[in-house]
Amino acid sequence: MVAFEGVQALDVTGPASVFTTASRHRPGAYRVMVASPRGGEVTSSSGVTFGRTVALAALLREPLDTVLVAGGEEEALTQAILEGGLAEWLREVARSARRVGSVCTGAFALGVAGLLDGRRATTHWRACGMLQEMIPAAKVEPDALHTFDGSVCTSAGVTAGIDLSLALLEQDHGREVAAQVARDLVVFLRRPGGQSQFSAGLAAQAEASDRMSDLIAWMVEHPERELSVPALAKRVAMSERNFSRVFAREAGMTPARFAERARIDRARVYLEDSDWPLKQVAERSGFGSIDGLQRAFKRLLGVTPAEYRGRFT
């Protein structure tokens, strides 16, 4: 685990906890080290201090299996990349390590090192646009919880590093061990909604008032119900015109657009976690027909429901 002054502590401790817990179930599975540009003590953005970190230069002398770069605030990460020699070190170590990856904004370090060129990648949803702008050769996926492309992997923001680490653990030691670790840490082996880091409900509720937030939560829980403007306006005792205006202002999208995204989110869960036929998925997620489900997936995700299931099941 690569840390630096001002690192996001959970980007380090989350993955480290996955791998050390795995070693209790499978002794000798991993040996976890925390490294930093100069070694010694490193203070995180939350004030938690990592003591006796290993200097990056010292690690060039021994083989490394997996390298994960944590994220942090822009200024702290920039200093680590430019002044701490992190990018150069990553280029060197990537030649021999089995895999190199990042948690949250640690993806910027991989990008500056040239490790994301031509590869799928993700980072915290707030920074995806900046990552694509800075590393135009990367294929940034803003909605992905984590990505794998050859020997390089990336994860979305903060706690998504745990999801990535569980996926790496499952690759290495199988689903049973990964599930045991997930139970020990009281986290999902795969989150509901699986591969998406930013659901429609989370996005909309962030800015909504209590009344609209409650309605949004109800829509997310009941995508199969009638979600037309007249039905929703009646539910919150507002005129249709006023409801449409207020909803769009607070949720950042029209009621119809949000309803479609909520249904997409629910369909994803069914596609990932069940073997239901597409007709049943369409009905239970509120699309009503396979044709409606397929059109929405192609328009919003660029794949068919069958392709999505094949990729993420």
- Residues in the chain, pLDDT under 50: 193-194
The structure tokens listed for 126 are: 């707030």
Topology of domain 9-185 in CATH is: Rossmann fold (3.40.50)
Topology of domain 200-312 in CATH is: Arc Repressor Mutant, subunit A (1.10.10)
Burial class (CB in 10 A: 0-12, 13-18, 19+), 133: exposed
Q: What pLDDT does residue 210 have? A: 74
The structure tokens listed for 76 are: 């702290």
- Domain locations in the chain? 9-185, 200-312
The structure tokens listed for 39 are: 């070694």
Q: What pLDDT does residue 269 have? A: 86
Q: What pLDDT does residue 253 have? A: 82
- Same topology between domain 9-185 and domain 200-312: no
User: What is the sign of the dihedral through the CA atoms of 276, 278, 282 and 283?
Assistant: negative
